Amino acid sequence: MQQSELMANVGAQKDRLPDIFGAIDFDAQPSRFTTDMSDSTFFDDDQSRRAELLARPDLVELMRVYTMQGDPTADAYAALMTRGHRLPKLIKMLKIACDKGIDAVPDAPQELIDLIHEMEQVPDWVDMDLVEEGARGDRNNAANLMPYVERGAFIGTFLNKYSALPMALTGTLSNESCKRRIFDSSNFLMQTTLPGGLTRYSEGFKATALVRMVHSMVRVNLLTRSSWDAGEYSMPIPQVDQMPAGLFQIYMTAKKVVESGRTEFNSAERARSEFARYRCYLLGLPENLLPTDPRGIVDVFDARQATLKNAYDDDICGPLINVTMTVDLSTDDTMRERIRQTMSMSISKRFFVEFFAGINPAAAEKIGFQLTTADRLRNLITGTVIAGRMVTHEIAGNIPGARRISDRILVKRMKKHLARIGHADFVTDAKQYRPKVAGAH
């Protein structure tokens, strides 16, 4: 897609939904976006890499455009909230359309028809056989590691006020709401990774549609109910902020591939990449942000980091990180659950200190999370068990006879975890929205 066409699509948001986006100046560059080498970004310690990325006008323009891009199709459906449609009914209609088809929804609004139709269309750049194979490849991680690092999915977002503010404004600061958001995220990731998890009438397809709806509900509510400053923060939950979460795992794989000197994925990596790309597509991300080759994935991911200002805010980021790192994710009061909770907190703390703290060391120091001797011991014990399981299934996955048995065990483990965390809500309560946060202009 040409740059002029990209810009036209961004500006069209105001034409399609003037009551939601009418006050946003889509021609202005938001303060969060920077190409100034003197500004602090993720690449403060690698300015040569940042200069390399900023020397690519195509990448810079892609990041600038999608910093102002929401999800036009889902936004139009969510915007019905502002025109007399009750949110519970909108959610119910969406669920029925996912479960039974759009024809099962009486008097379905055109906006819902458009959303379902868009998600039903498998783009010609997607290989569904590879998608299914990639999901199988991801099940080892989902079944064995994810239950212990669930809270980690949010931490990266919370280290920067520009990406953290939507969560801060949508009532995510209580233990119960934070717990529900973490479980909802795990539910989505696991449902989509199960066999057939991204096929049309799967639970994963429905979970993906509901995640899109949640993002759009937040976007619409922030622009109509809060003191949102688009000139500072850009579009609420823009596409460039959704892309890292969707591509993070395959980005880490792509980075290793590039660092090893290879230019292409092997067959297993290619399948996992295709799975990640299609899941991102169903979430509303455009093909432009979903490259197929390792170098392209690394460049797009890094370009976002190179153009996003480092901005940690105690009032916005601190409470979100603290509640996420300390929330009790136990589902009952058994000894097994208490042990799981203790191990999970130690692993999440290590994940934060060793990975996310490297993104923003000053923020990590302010927050004050430190690994204790007990944390290190728990990480050693739990890590050894998890690694043993994952290596066993990795080996079994390469043996024809054992592969099917291994996959059945992984699926069973995932379904057991899904039953433990409960059904996903995928809702946000506009009554909890905070109209103003210190540091939010």
pLDDT per residue as tens digits for the range 81-129: 999 999 999 999 999 999 999 999 999 999 999 999 999 999 999 999 9
Q: Which residue has the tokens 């290879």?
A: 262
The per-residue pLDDT for 307 is 97
| Tens-digit pLDDT profile for residues 392-403 | 999 999 998 899
Q: Token digits for 410?
A: 């992984």
Q: Which residue has the tokens 């991102």?
A: 280
C-beta of residue 23 within 8 angstroms of C-beta of residue 230: yes
Contact 68, 234 (CB under 8 A): yes
Instruction: Return the SS3 of 148.
Output: helix
Strand, coil or helix: what is 104?
A: helix
Q: What share of the chain is helix, strand, coil (3-state, %, to 5)?
A: 70, 0, 30
Residue that the structure tokens 């080996």 belong to: 395
- Backbone phi and psi for residue 271, each to the nearest 5 degrees, phi listed first: -65, -45
Question: What's the sign of the alpha-carbon dihedral 168, 173, 179, 180?
Answer: negative
Low-confidence residues of the chain, pLDDT below 50? 435-441
Contact between 175 and 323 (Cβ < 8 Å): yes
Vertex 210: Cα angle to 206 and 212 (nearest 5): 120
| Rounded distance between C-alpha atoms, residue 229 and residue 32, angstroms | 11
Q: What is the pLDDT of residue 338?
A: 87
Strand intervals (E) in 84-173: none
117 close to 287: Cβ distance less than 8 angstroms: no
pTM of the entire structure?
A: 0.91
Residue 61 near residue 3, CB atoms below 8 Å: yes
Distance CA 143, CA 412 (A): 9
Tell me the C-alpha distance between 414 and 147, whole Å. 9
Q: What CA–CA distance (Å, rounded) separates 175 from 208?
A: 24
User: Tokens representing 393?
Assistant: 């299934």
pLDDT of residue 441: 44
pLDDT of residue 370: 73
pLDDT for 349 equals 80
Other CB atoms within a 10 A radius of the CB of residue 257 amount to 22
pLDDT score for 424: 75
What is d(CA 304, CA 60) in angstroms, rounded to the nearest whole number? 9
Residue with tokens 């169903």: 282
Given this model, what pLDDT does residue 227 score?
81
Element (H, E) at 276: helix 267-282
Q: CA 278, CA 126: separation in Å to the nearest integer?
A: 7
- In the chain, DSSP finds a helix count (H) and a strand count (E) of 22, 0
Q: Please check whether residue 188 is in contact with residue 424, taking contact to mean a CB–CB distance below 8 angstroms.
A: yes
